[in-house]
């Protein structure tokens, strides 16, 4: 950060002569609830989803900008916790909040923008996947969706602490973004709306089909337990749940992928996303419908 | 724009190896009303206030990012008009909308971020003013405040068309930002909250006082007429009215300022902003109070 908050605008270093930019709007009641998540958790999650978008391009975050709308009776404690959440999540990737804006609002509104630097590499877009590529995933899938389902069902218990926390505070596999670029990923996406939907964007942008193998998705014990508790199919959460901010990428077939990358399918000629053994691809989280 | 909307993030050129960034949150009912401004005007104004912040650093805008929250019943016509407004205002400075996000919301929410390039110069901050500098302004002052007062009073008539339009669609003197930098401005600020308040930021950041001469503010005929109509003091609008996005800057005393720059005061030792002949500096628009 060359010039921080307190002027008309901030100045950030952009050593690569290109800057990667993403923006998200997070609204109370739609994207988070203050009775389900603390200010700290909301700050971490809001930062996480933007930082993850930067790293899904193969870039490294350089700064975050936060427009905050809030009711007049918002407590200083809540604001401090929100700010701490942003700070701690940014610190995971060596970035910080470099500027922002504040306004009075009836509910909490967060307009978050993240910037990143490509360090000389080509951005990994959604459009470079080719038939024959392997499709792989890094990070959790379905955990945040399970946590949300448990909260919605009022099934909050210590037995599900990990899943509840996954909803409140995603743990994107940040460093795997630039690492996938180094492993010659041909296309990459941040799984924010659900694996099938987000890979659908890759399929459409690349003009290919993505074939997923359900055998590539082992169901963890907590996920199986939670699914039984609320009467859901854990594979639905894995395939269509958003908010975990895993990374999904296509790689040339000859690339040997190190952990935590795990192969979950392949790219083929055609279009759309198919899940072997399922008649129809399930939907995902629709931003606007939500 | 190297990579536009449709991926996890966009990629913009940053030839200077530094990037200037500003973000604003605009909320329906607080910052605009749909019954007072068209979608087109709201788009132009939202773009204008961010582009103006970039140019107040002496930089040139390179791209705008828009997070849009909107009710499900928002019409396509309104959205198209909003989008046209963003496009047309950005076109004035050779930039465009490079990315964004969309969410469902009870009211219209706009989270706008603008990026800019410094082209090799040092950013003109708020902190460089020295005693002896002249203080000058480019652009309109008080017009938007007069328009807002007329709308609030229900005094809408063709006689005040110019002032009403000034509220709905500011016309920042964009090119004067980089030009002031070339004229060796020592400090500069975008007048968004009111001249006295915004110069107060310059005084505080620079550790100086700013002395304004009311003789530097001729009251135009429409402004005088509007003030009579609603029983206001036109000088109050000029000194404290926000939203015109004029530029105010300090320059070394020897710089001969070309139009449209007009000298309105001087920098002195001390602190705060004083208006000659007025006992107390009037306040400005307080973002949070508003």
What pLDDT was estimated at residue A86?
A: 97
Would you list the domain boundaries of chain B? Answer: 20-117, 134-275
Tokens 């008539």 -> residue: B157
Find the mean pLDDT for residues B83-109: 95
What pLDDT was estimated at residue A269?
A: 98
Find the mean pLDDT for residues B78-82: 96
b (16+ CB within 10 A) / e for A178-192: bbbbebebbbbbbbb
CB B230 within 8 A of CB B168: no
- Residue A250 pLDDT > 70, yes or no? yes
CB B178 within 8 A of CB B249: no
CA angle B193, B199, B203 (to 5 degrees): 140
What pLDDT was estimated at residue A17?
A: 96
Size of interface A-B (CB pairs under 8 A): 218
Find the mean pLDDT for residues B18-34: 95
- Residue A12 and residue B18: Cβ atoms within 8 Å? yes
Of B287 and A61, which is predicted with more confidence? Answer: A61
Strand, coil or helix: A142: coil
Strand, coil or helix: B4: coil
What pLDDT was estimated at residue B283?
A: 52
What is the side-by-side strand order in the sheet with B97-104?
A10-13, B18-27, B109-117, B60-70, B97-104
For testing contact with chain B, the best of A5, A16, A23 (most B CBs within 10 A): A23
* Structure ipTM: 0.88
For domain B134-275, give the fold: Phosphoribosyl-aminoimidazole Synthetase; Chain A, domain 2 (3.90.650)
Residue A155's pLDDT band (cuts 50, 70, 90): confident
User: A249 vs chain B: nearest CA distance in angstroms?
Assistant: 13
CB B54 within 8 A of CB B113: no
The two counts, helices (H) then strands (E), for chain A are 8, 11
- Is A8 known to sit in a ligand binding site? yes
Rounded to whole angstroms, the Cα distance separating B50 from A111 reads: 14
Find the mean pLDDT for residues B72-87: 96
Cβ burial, residue A162 (10 Å; 0-12/13-18/19+): middle
Find the mean pLDDT for residues A18-35: 94
- Residue B124 pLDDT > 70, yes or no? yes
Which candidate, A54, A60, A55, A65, places its Cα nearest to that of A21? A54
Of A233 and A6, which is predicted with more confidence? Answer: A233
What pLDDT was estimated at residue B170?
A: 92
- Residue A290 pLDDT > 60, yes or no? no
- Residue A43 pLDDT > 60, yes or no? yes
- Residue A173 pLDDT > 60, yes or no? yes
Collect all residues of chain B within an 8 Å Cβ-Cβ radius of residue A2: 18
The mean of the pLDDT values for chain B is 92
What pLDDT was estimated at residue B142?
A: 95
For testing contact with chain B, the best of A54, A73, A111 (most B CBs within 10 A): A111
Q: Which two tokens stand for residue B14?
A: 């940053």
Find the mean pLDDT for residues A44-56: 96
What pLDDT was estimated at residue B280?
A: 60
Nearest to A111 among B10, B63, B111 (CB): B111
- Residue A286 pLDDT > 50, yes or no? no
What is the CATH number assigned to the segment(s) A20-117? 3.30.1330.10
Rounded to whole angstroms, the Cα distance separating B38 from B53 reads: 23
pLDDT digits (tens, 9 = 90+) for B132-175: 999 999 999 999 999 999 999 998 888 899 999 898 889 999 99
- Residue B276 pLDDT > 80, yes or no? yes
How crowded is the C-beta side of B145, counted as CA atoms within 13 Å? Answer: 26
Which candidate, B141, B147, B278, places its Cα nearest to that of B225? B147
Find the mean pLDDT for residues B238-251: 94
The mean of the pLDDT values for chain A is 92
- Is A262 known to sit in a ligand binding site? no
What pLDDT was estimated at residue A279?
A: 65
What pLDDT was estimated at residue B284?
A: 45
CB atoms within 10 A of CB A5: 14
Q: Which two tokens stand for residue B118?
A: 């410094």
What pLDDT was estimated at residue A282?
A: 54
DSSP bridge partners of A289:
none
Rounded to whole angstroms, the Cα distance separating B250 from B71 reads: 44
Tokens 């005929």 -> residue: B221
Q: What percent of chain B has pLDDT over 70?
A: 96
What pLDDT was estimated at residue A4?
A: 75
């Amino acid at each position: 950060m060359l010039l921080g908050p307190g002027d008309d605008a901030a100045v950030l270093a952009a050593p690569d002569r290109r800057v990667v930019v993403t923006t998200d709007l997070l609204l109370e009641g739609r994207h988070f609830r203050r009775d389900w998540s603390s200010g700290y958790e909301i700050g971490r999650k809001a930062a996480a989803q933007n930082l993850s978008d930067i790293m899904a391009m193969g870039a490294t975050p350089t700064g975050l900008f936060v427009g905050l709308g809030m009711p007049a009776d918002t407590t200083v404690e809540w604001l401090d916790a929100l700010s701490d959440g942003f700070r701690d999540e940014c610190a995971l990737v060596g970035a910080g909040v470099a500027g922002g804006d504040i306004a009075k609002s009836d509910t909490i509104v967060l307009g978050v923008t993240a910037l990143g630097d490509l360090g000389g590499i080509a951005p990994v877009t959604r459009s470079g996947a080719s038939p024959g590529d392997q499709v792989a995933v890094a990070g959790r899938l379905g955990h945040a969706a399970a946590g949300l389902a448990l909260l919605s069902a009022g099934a909050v218990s210590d037995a599900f602490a990990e899943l509840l926390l996954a909803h409140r505070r995603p743990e994107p596999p940040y460093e795997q973004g630039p690492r996938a670029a180094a492993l010659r990923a041909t296309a990459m996406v941040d799984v924010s709306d659900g694996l099938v939907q987000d890979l659908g964007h890759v399929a459409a942008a690349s003009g290919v089909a993505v074939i997923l193998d359900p055998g590539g998705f082992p169901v963890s014990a907590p996920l199986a337990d939670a699914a039984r508790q609320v009467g859901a199919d854990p594979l639905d959460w894995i395939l269509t749940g958003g908010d975990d901010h895993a990374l999904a990428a296509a790689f040339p077939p000859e690339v040997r992928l190190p952990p935590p990358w795990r192969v979950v399918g392949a790219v083929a000629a055609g279009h759309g996303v198919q899940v072997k053994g399922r008649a129809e691809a399930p939907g995902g989280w629709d931003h606007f419908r939500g």
